[in-house]
Amino acid sequence: MSKKLFFVMVIMLLGLCVPAAAQRITNSNYQSVGYIKSDGTIQDSNYRTIGHIKSDGTIQDGNYRTIGHLKSDGTVQDGNYRTVGHIKSDGTVQDGNYRTVGHVKSDGTVQDSNYRTIGHTSGIPKEWAAIFFFFSLN
């Protein structure tokens, strides 16, 4: 094995050992309410795992039970594939009856249906922020 290939393999293995960085989620007063790791792991403010968003859109609780699905078109379904909401490309969050329940702005500000700020995120997809704030993980 060449030295170059060996070092590439070592670097790749070290990368697997480094925990995924977590992005902090705060309430309107910038107090931590949770974290979402780059691998989709959702944690509460005490770093306890409360859910997961998998790369295929499956939403799981902290015990890896499937509780929902995030479809590529922004549709959010419960564990029985019933539509419970929609996340539009502009960040508007709607319930299953298309009533606006909130907004996730491009700067990470999360607002309720009356545009009052209820939280802040940074560095995570708006769909993940919407799931954290508007769709129960219970």
* C-beta of residue 49 within 8 angstroms of C-beta of residue 37: no
> What is the percent of the chain where pLDDT is above 70?
83
* C-beta of residue 93 within 8 angstroms of C-beta of residue 87: yes
- Domain total for the chain? 1
Helix (H, G, I), strand (E, B) or coil at 114: coil
Is 2 within a domain?
no
15 vs 87, more confident: 87
Is 12 within a domain?
no
Q: What's the DSSP call for residue 6?
A: H
pTM of the full structure: 0.79
- What's the pLDDT tens digit per position in 11-32? 443 333 334 578 999 999 999 9
Q: Is 50 exceeded by the pLDDT of residue 135?
A: yes
Is 8 within a domain?
no
CA nearest to 76, candidates 138, 130, 133: 130
- What's the pLDDT tens digit per position in 27-48? 999 999 999 998 999 999 999 9
Is 110 within a domain?
yes
Query: Domain of 31?
Result: 21-134
Is 26 within a domain?
yes
Residue type, 64: Y
- What's the pLDDT tens digit per position in 64-81? 999 999 999 999 999 999
Is 3 within a domain?
no
Is 16 within a domain?
no
DSSP 25-87: EEETTS-EEEEEETTSEEEETTS-EEEEE-TTSEEEETTS-EEEEE-TTSEEEETTS-EEEEE
